[in-house]
Amino acid sequence: MQTTSCLTSFFPLYFEGRCTYSHFHARLQLELQREAPSCPHNATAELLLLLNVPTEAEAKSHIESSCQKGFDAQYELAWKDVTQKAAREQPLFDKQYYDGGSAWNEQYETLADNRVPYVDGRAANVLRDDGSRIDDVYEAYASQGKIECKCVFVMLENVYLFLHSHMNMHSY
């Protein structure tokens, strides 16, 4: 058995999806095939040599721990910064959204609930305008990072219930 790594220099590993041992392992196998095609061993053996650990279980534990540390270190966008409604004099919006009763949930546009001052013929709750921040937040944060969620998911009779925790929030 070879006792030295085939990948002798620093190399970044990029992969799609969550950082997991299986994703990391698959990507390392591709790196071996690309950078060291004559390497006599597979990605598992290479990983054991790189990490200087005796078993795959230890390598898996190390990789999963490193993935978790990286995830934990990521910036987390506070929920209040997602909608920014509380800062715009709509302190109940987030609660209404979680309760399923906001214009964003119902996706309606109306002339009845117009902005003040009332403008004849101008619609209110235009999601293209009011909800434009959704796409901005997705592109800037959610597609690659984390968003705070003070929530609990409960499974009852094959139905998922989403319960929002109002801890650390203003009284409504």
Q: What is the pLDDT of residues 110-120, one digit of tens each?
A: 666 555 556 66
**Torsion angle of C-alpha atoms 102, 105, 106, 108, degrees rounded to 10:** 80
**pLDDT score for 140:** 83
Q: How confident is residue 170, by pLDDT bands cut at 50, 70 and 90?
A: very low
Give the highest mean pLDDT range of 3-17, 41-55, 111-125, 136-150.
Answer: 41-55
- Whole-number Å distance between alpha carbons of 33 and 39: 8
- Cβ-contact 5, 39 below 8 angstroms: no
**pLDDT score for 2:** 63
**pLDDT score for 64:** 93
Work out the mean pLDDT of the chain and round it to a whole number. 76
Tell me the domain boundaries of the chain. Answer: 21-73, 77-164
- Cβ-contact 102, 96 below 8 angstroms: yes
Q: What is the mean pLDDT of residues 137-151?
A: 78
**pLDDT score for 165:** 41
| pLDDT tens readout for residues 4-18 | 899 876 777 776 777
- Cβ-contact 45, 7 below 8 angstroms: no
